Structure formats: structure tokens, C-alpha cells
Structure 1
Amino acid sequence: MDFDDFHWHDSGLKSIHIDRSNPGYNDSIVLEIEWCDIGVGRLIFQEVYKAKFDLNFGIIAQESILDAYSTRDDDELHLLTSTFEIHDLTCYVINTNSTSGQLKIYAKNFTTGTK
């Protein structure tokens, strides 16, 4: 499934796991999401080159997702691809609803999985 085709709005962001146990060879980020339409699942971003998380805490509310999209038109993405000559890199953006946060994950691909 294409990243942009998921039912993002009002789905819940349950957890974020960063795996750097084998740095440079297997850098991945796993998001556990409670989808509005299909239940709990995972997004596994593989070959991650950079991540920027602007998250807010201290608010007593489930963190829901406002929207999400993938893009190849991002300043940071262009800098990464030109500086390090990385090809096939995509910027995945997730905007949160409850706390007005944002996640940007710069990765080569992603897969889905179940909990």
C-alpha cells in the first residue's frame, strides 16, 4: 500500500521505537498505530538516514494523527541526497492532532506489519 493511501486522520499514534542496534546497516523506526479502519498495526521504516521529531508532552490525551504524506520535495531531503549521494530517499511526514507535533522520517522504504 502507498504511504499516502492510509486512513491517517484520527488514527492513534501508540508508540515509536528506534532501532540502532546495527548502526549504518539496519537503522529503522517502528511506529505502532491504532488505525481507525483496521485496528492496531505497525509501520516499519527501513534504511533510515535521518529523523526529526517535534513532539509535545504533558497533555492528557491520546495522540491522534491529523494527516500524513510522503514527499520528495523537501529541503532537508535535497541536502541529504546531494551531500551523501543517497538515491531513492523519501521524506515521510506525520502531523499529530492532539499536540500539534510533527515527525519527519527520511528513509528509503517502509513496510507494514501487525503487532
Structure 2
Amino acid sequence: MNFDDYYWHDSTLKSINIDRSNPGHNDSIVLEIEWYGTGISKLIFQDVYKAKFDLNFGIIAQESILDAYSTKEDEELYLLATKWTGVFPVHELTCYVINTNSTVGQLKICAKGFTIDDKN
């Protein structure tokens, strides 16, 4: 399924796990999402090259998601391309953006792809 086709609004971000146990070979980010009305699954971003989190804490509320989208035209991809010219093909990356509702935060993950693990 396409990243943009998931029902993001009012789903809940439960946890974030960054795996750099094998740097350069397995750089992944796992988000645990409780989908609005359908249950919990893990969203696994694979071959992550950059992540930028602007998150706020201290609010006593679940971190609900306002919206999310994927793009090939994000400033983070441009900055990555200018910083690491010739190191890897930036055109293979997508920037996944998740905007939160409860604390007005944002996650940007530049990766080659993602999968969904519904096995809990």
C-alpha cells in the first residue's frame, strides 16, 4: 500500500525505536502506530539516511497524528544531496513526513522505503 493512502488522521504514535546496531547496513526506524479504529502495527523505515524529529513532551495526552505524506521534493532531501554529493543516489530516497496533532510536532524520515508489520 502507498504511504499516502493510510488513514493517518487521529491514529496514535505509541513509540519510536531507532536501530543503528549495524551502522550503514541496517539503519532503520520503527514507529508503533495505533491506527484509528483498526489496531496497532509497526511501521518500519528501512535504509534510513536522515531523520529529523521536532517533538514536544510534557503534554498529558496521546500523541495523535494530524496527517502524513511522502514526497521526493523535500528540503531535507535537497540538503542531504548537497551535503553528500556522489556518496549515494539521493533519487532513490523518499522523505516521509508525519505531523502530530497533540503537541504540534513533526517527524521527517528520509529512507529508501518502508514496510508495515501487523503481527503483534
Aligned equivalents of 2:88, 2:28: Cα separation in 1: 20
The answer to whether structure 1 residue 89 and structure 2 residue 93 are counterparts is yes
When the two structures are superposed, what TM-score results if normalisation uses the length of structure 2?
Answer: 0.91
Return the offset for 1:81: 3.4
Deviations 1:25-71 (A, max 9, x none): 00000000000132101100000000000000000000000000000
Map 1:1-115; keep pairs closer than 5 Å: 1-82=1-82, 83=85, 84-86=87-89, 87-114=91-118, 115=120
Is residue 7–residue 37 contact of structure 1 (8 Å, CA) maintained in 2?
A: no
Q: Amino acid of the residue matched to residue 89 of structure 1?
A: L
When the two structures are superposed, what TM-score results if normalisation uses the length of structure 1?
Answer: 0.95
Aligned equivalents of 2:77, 2:103: Cα separation in 1: 25
Aligned equivalents of 2:37, 2:3: Cα separation in 1: 15
Secondary structure of the equivalent of 2:92?
Answer: coil
Gaps of 5+ in 1: none
Aligned equivalents of 2:21, 2:88: Cα separation in 1: 24
Aligned equivalents of 1:89, 1:21: Cα separation in 2: 21
Q: Amino acid of the residue matched to residue 104 of structure 1?
A: K
CA RMSD of aligned residues (A): 1.1
Secondary structure of the equivalent of 2:63?
Answer: coil
